[in-house]
Amino acid sequence: MHKITMLAKLSKLHKDYYKDCIDLYNRIKGLTSSRTILILVFGSVALLFFITNFKFNKEYNLIIDPGHGGANVFQKDGKIVKNERWDPVKGKYLSYYLTGMEADTYHEHLVMLELGKKVKAYLDLTQSFWGWQRFEDILRVFSKANNGNKGNKFERITLKAKLTRKDSWNHRYEKADKIHINNDYRLYDYPDERARLRHGRLSFINHHRPSLVVSLHMTPAGKGNEGGMAGVLAPGFRSYDLVRRILLKEEKMKEWKKSYWNGKVLDSNKKAGWKQFELMNADSWGYFHGYRSNKKGNKVNFNAARGIRHNLVSWAYKESDNWAKDYRPNQAGPYALKYRDFEAKGKFWDRERSQAESWRREGGPKLYGGDNHYATDELLRFVQHGVRILRPAMREKKKIGKIHFPFASSYALPIYVNAIVAFLEIGYLNRKRDRELIIGEMDAVAKSLAVGIYSLYAGLKIEALPDGTYLDDSKSKVNESDDGYTPKGEALDLEKYGDYFKSSVD
């Protein structure tokens, strides 16, 4: 009786399994000796199998986010209706729904949904004994070594992945002429037909408390851009606050010029000739005040409303359900529309100044962008490296486009979730070479992403491919000894975050 009790406790089994052990003991007490021995042997082997293969594995929750999924909603006169970013202050949607990239007959939201499902299917292999054998076979293709484990085995972990969506709007056979068509695809919370507030994608993610979010996208390539892939990042509080203090003459411009973000901020106003500081300043206004600024950064652009975004999400850092009644943009405080009157007070701004957010979005192994940048870059490298391993024909020079500098701006997903975010623009949909990679070699891409995700949790020793002639012009390089494509294979340090990933909801 004592041995069974100790086995149950040591394996940290659920109390129901402990009760089953007691029940098994009581049942076999009255059996004959030979039957007792057989049952004890069988029960011990079964219990040992269960303990070894299920309960001692580390488990991690993560999200696979296939981008977009919704539609443009048209009025009877043919005009598109604003259908995203519900603002309770104005009582209306502030933005048009971002449907994603289209090129010829290809749609980003459909391609990424198919890729996301494949990645999840490979990650799901880690959840069963026989599935793990298959997943380990995939790992052996990528790595002959294994970070200190004995024999040709890899650290067993369980990856519990959820998709943010399982279909797109056009799978539901409805016309895009009703507001509700985007109900399951919006980023922010929204009112349903009965005026009840429903969770958008950001709230969905936070309520599942993941440690990692992998967001899958494709982007358009402009003239002269041959394609490739890039990440998406958002700076942290200290960088946006630096810009604010420069405009208030509390800090010197030379501090911005020394920033790693200088030169990386997305230029969405190329025709207007905006400089990097002007772009960053416009972003900082949206981040702090809910509106972007004019080019000089001295006035609010009321035509560029972004909303108080941290209050458009159901999570622990929303100031309150009735925050709109406390919205006072003309008074000093957290909603002030003047830089000098703005006060970073409240739950959200305490979060933004925290060490955890600095780890996520600033500094780090890539010098800027924190763990978000590292995770994003690693997964792009795993795609580059893995496809070349799995498909040797793809090793030829220029078969796969280069890794570009990340797109940096005040993007919502990297900011408004308590998880490490790997936001991937995994290809340029209007470039044939990228479509041949992402669509034509989708299974190899999915396997590579799944192995990369595993490596972010457990680490994986990666050897560079022998022929490096294709490894040129990567913007992912940190120094000259870095080829810019081979993954580092180093696991994220999740322990330093403590319970931070679980604190996104009360």
The token pair at 313 is 């999400």
Cα–Cα distance measured from residue 386 to residue 139, given in angstroms and rounded to the nearest whole number? 11
The token pair at 107 is 């749609």
Q: With bands split at pLDDT 50, 70 and 90, how would you rate the model's confidence at 223? A: confident
Judged by DSSP in three states, 453 sits in helix
Asked whether the CA dihedral 131, 137, 140, 142 is positive or negative, the reply is negative
Distances (CA, A) of 148 to 352, 451, 462, 489: 37, 18, 13, 13
Cα–Cα distance measured from residue 266 to residue 262, given in angstroms and rounded to the nearest whole number? 10
Q: Is 219 left (phi over 0), alpha (psi -120 to 50) or beta?
A: beta
Count of beta carbons in the 10 Å neighbourhood of residue 255: 13
Q: Residue 234: which of 273, 280, 186 has the closest Cα?
A: 280
Judged by DSSP in three states, 325 sits in helix
Cα–Cα distance measured from residue 215 to residue 503, given in angstroms and rounded to the nearest whole number? 21
Count of beta carbons in the 10 Å neighbourhood of residue 499: 8
The token pair at 248 is 């208030």
DSSP 128: S
Whether 4 shows a pLDDT value over 80: the answer reads: no
Tell me the per-residue pLDDT of 432-452, one tens digit each, with 9 for 90 and over. 999 999 999 999 999 999 999
The token pair at 171 is 């799978």
Angle at 331 between CA 280 and CA 329, to 5 degrees: 55
Residue matched to tokens 């409240």: 346
Judged by DSSP in three states, 175 sits in coil
Tell me the per-residue pLDDT of 241-268, one tens digit each, with 9 for 90 and over. 999 999 999 999 999 999 999 999 998 7
Position 178 scores a pLDDT of 82
Amino acid identity, residue 107?
H
Residue matched to tokens 């002030």: 336
Position 401 scores a pLDDT of 93
Max mean pLDDT range (60-69, 143-152, 220-229, 467-476)? 60-69
* C-alpha 46, offset from chain centre: 38
Tell me the per-residue pLDDT of 275-333, one tens digit each, with 9 for 90 and over. 999 999 999 999 999 999 999 888 899 999 999 999 999 999 999 999 999 999 999 99
Count of beta carbons in the 10 Å neighbourhood of residue 19: 12
